[in-house]
A = this chain, B = another copy of it.
Amino acid sequence: MGVVVELNDGAVRVKNPTLRDVAQLAGVSIATASKALNGRDHVHPETRTRVHEAARLISFTPNALAQGLIAGQTGTVGLITGDLDGRFSIPILMGAEDAFGTGKMSVFLCDARGDAIREQYHLQALLSRRVDGLIVVGSTTNPRPSLGSDLPIPVVYAYAPSLDASDISLVADNEQAGSDAAAHLVKRGRIRIAHITGDAGYLAATDRATGVEIELARSGLTLVGGEARYGSWTEDWGRRATQQLLAEHPDVDAILCGSDQIARGALDILREAGKIVPDEIAVMGFDNWEIFTSGARPALTSVDMNLETLGRAAARRLFAAIDGDHSGGIQKLPCRVVVRETT
């Protein structure tokens, strides 16, 4: 039995309460208390209520740890991220929590900070804690090394795919997203569309640009200046590239930007140049990062990568893998255009 502690106000509290304490308080057998709490067998509703009330009174919670050891599953998963500001990993965590059911599965979040040694430390710790599976969130969308195929538990790679094609990877479909964005601008009657984007070393940048060009070609269009303008994912690059673009092609009627930050830089320069958005020129971002889209003048149309949906899908694939479905490969999930005032 748990230790009975008398509180200042004369009330009695049970420290480290056990199932026996609950049963005693509810006036039932231990077996009945157990059945009422785990819900697996039939117990009279009134008895069930009494047992739950007793458990609540003495703050008794079943020992999931011991149950897990017996069942061979712990109800825990590890989420290893390399994402320093949580911008990608938190929505993915939220999606996973939703798919798992709040509180049903608990998630260890480890931040490897882009450091392979730190990642290994976290991995070993998670294995020793007997997590049922792992979700690995990349720090960029670029393919990343596999954790290996000899792990005792399934792994799902989210946001960035694994370099090993036999691993399970779920990523946003950046090429399709580029096409959808271009299609949105074409539908708005734009015909002289420029594309200012980030570092060409990121697949997200080149995949999106490919999608844009494919979609424009469908309408017989090409990018203003003949190609995408690669730089960095910053407002500063958005400003510099837009200045150059206006000097070279003053008749441009839409700028599709590879990130919301680049789009904010573009909007700054257009405002200073006296160009009216969207009447004279449309602007569109990527990522749909609310802090940048809502603060923009006017509010910025953007492409949402649906990261919560990605997190939910990753959790479901992990469940399937835990249940034995190890079919690997890269699954691409659709993005969506969120229309605001700039288009």
Q: Does A234 contact B85, Cβ atoms closer than 8 Å?
A: no
Q: Which residues from B are CB-within-8-Å of A113?
A: 94
A130 at the A/B interface (Cβ < 8 Å)?
Answer: yes
Q: Does A110 contact B110, Cβ atoms closer than 8 Å?
A: no
Roughly how many angstroms separate A268 CA and B118 CA in the complex, as a whole number? 41
Q: Indicate how many identical chains form the complex.
A: 2
Residue of B nearest to A81 (CB): B90
* Nearest chain B CB to A99 CB, angstrom units: 13
Residue of B nearest to A128 (CB): B64
Q: Does B87 contact A106, Cβ atoms closer than 8 Å?
A: no
Residue of B nearest to A127 (CB): B61
Q: Does A295 contact B264, Cβ atoms closer than 8 Å?
A: yes
Name the segment of A66-74, A205-213, A321-329 touching the other chain.
A66-74
Q: Does B235 contact A61, Cβ atoms closer than 8 Å?
A: no
A221 at the A/B interface (Cβ < 8 Å)?
Answer: no
Give A67-121 interface residues, CB cut-off 8 Å to B.
68-69, 74-76, 78-79, 84-87, 89-90, 93-94, 97, 102-104, 106-111, 113, 118, 121
Roughly how many angstroms separate A84 CA and B235 CA in the complex, as a whole number? 24
Q: Does B69 contact A65, Cβ atoms closer than 8 Å?
A: yes
Give A51-68 interface residues, CB cut-off 8 Å to B.
59, 61-66, 68
Q: Which of B65, B79, B103 contacts A74 (CB 8 A)?
A: B65
Q: A65-B129, A86-B86 are in contact. List 9 more A-B contacts (CB 8 A).
A: A65-B68, A84-B94, A86-B90, A97-B110, A102-B122, A103-B125, A104-B125, A106-B129, A107-B108
Closest 3 CB pairs of A and B: A86-B86, A86-B90, A103-B125
